[in-house]
Every structure is written in C-alpha cells, then in structure tokens.
Amino acid sequence: MHIVIIALVVLILALTLVSLIFIVGMRRKVPFVLNAVRRSGRAMKPLTLRRAGAAESPTAVVEHVGRTSGRRYETPVVATKIDNGYAIALPYGPNTDWLKNVLAAGRVTLRHGGAAHELEGPEVVALGLVDARFAAKEQRLHRRFGVRDALVLRTPNT
C-alpha cells in the first residue's frame, strides 16, 4: 500500500510539473513548448477538420494557399465575428506558416458557422482590440497562455 501511495504522489508531481512547463512555456513563447504543441496539433488536425467550420462547431477553418508551393491548405482556428469581418487569436504568435501565407495572399476563405466567407485585408493587431468579442472561455485562455496578437480579416468593401 505504501508503494501505491508513493507512486500516486510521484505521478501527481510529474503531471503538475508538465502542466507548469506547458503554461509557462506558452506564456513566454518558449520554442520547445510551441514546437511540441504544434506537433501534437498536426497529429490531431485531421480529426479537428472533420467538424471544423460546421454550424455547431466552435472551430473555424482558414483555407489558404502556400506562398511558395501554391498548394492549398486548411488550418483549424478559433474565430469570432467582429463588426467588419472576423478576428482570429494567434496563440503561437505571428510567426506561423499559415499566417504568413494569408498575409502574403492578402485574402482568405474562412469556413465558420456552416458558411464560407471570402475575406481580405489581413492585419495582425493587438489582441486587446478584439478580445472582448471572443467568448468568455476563450478570453480566459488568452490570458492564461499570454496570447498577445490577433488576425483581423475584413469582408470585402468594408
């Protein structure tokens, strides 16, 4: 029985340490942690994309084209409607390939709420300018993980 208790304590301490490393690493944008999260995200991407963009899904899909390859890509994101388009929080910061593709193209298709939206004029802004438009749960996650930036996409002619 004594060994079981020790094993449980060690397991709890290990999980606490991993959680702490994850939270601090995301807040400080530590490359090791960001890369680990990206790798796990890539592994889960096919599963996420099955429902993303549907009316009942909290996840949207950014459809973009590679700036050098010309290949089509789909990236799951959390988007929210704003007055003149949509905003997407950037938890990994502004140095992601999908974001670079969108900025280079100057336009994108966003599947959100069961519809496809053609958007243009991508601009990286401080999250504080659009954070209030996200759900309370998302706002808490933004604070917890130190998200500082957002991508604003506008509907044409706004």
Q: What is the pLDDT of residues 9-47, one digit of tens each?
A: 999 999 998 888 888 887 778 888 878 877 776 766 776
Number of domains in the chain: 1
Q: Which CATH number do you get for residue 126?
A: 2.30.110
Beta bridge partners of 82: 85
Lowest mean pLDDT among 27-31, 68-72, 97-101, 126-130: 27-31
Which strand ranges, in their side-by-side order, compose the sheet holding 115-126? 72-77, 60-65, 107-112, 115-126, 149-154, 85-89, 79-82
What is the residue range of 45's domain? 2-154
1 pLDDT band, cuts 50/70/90, is confident
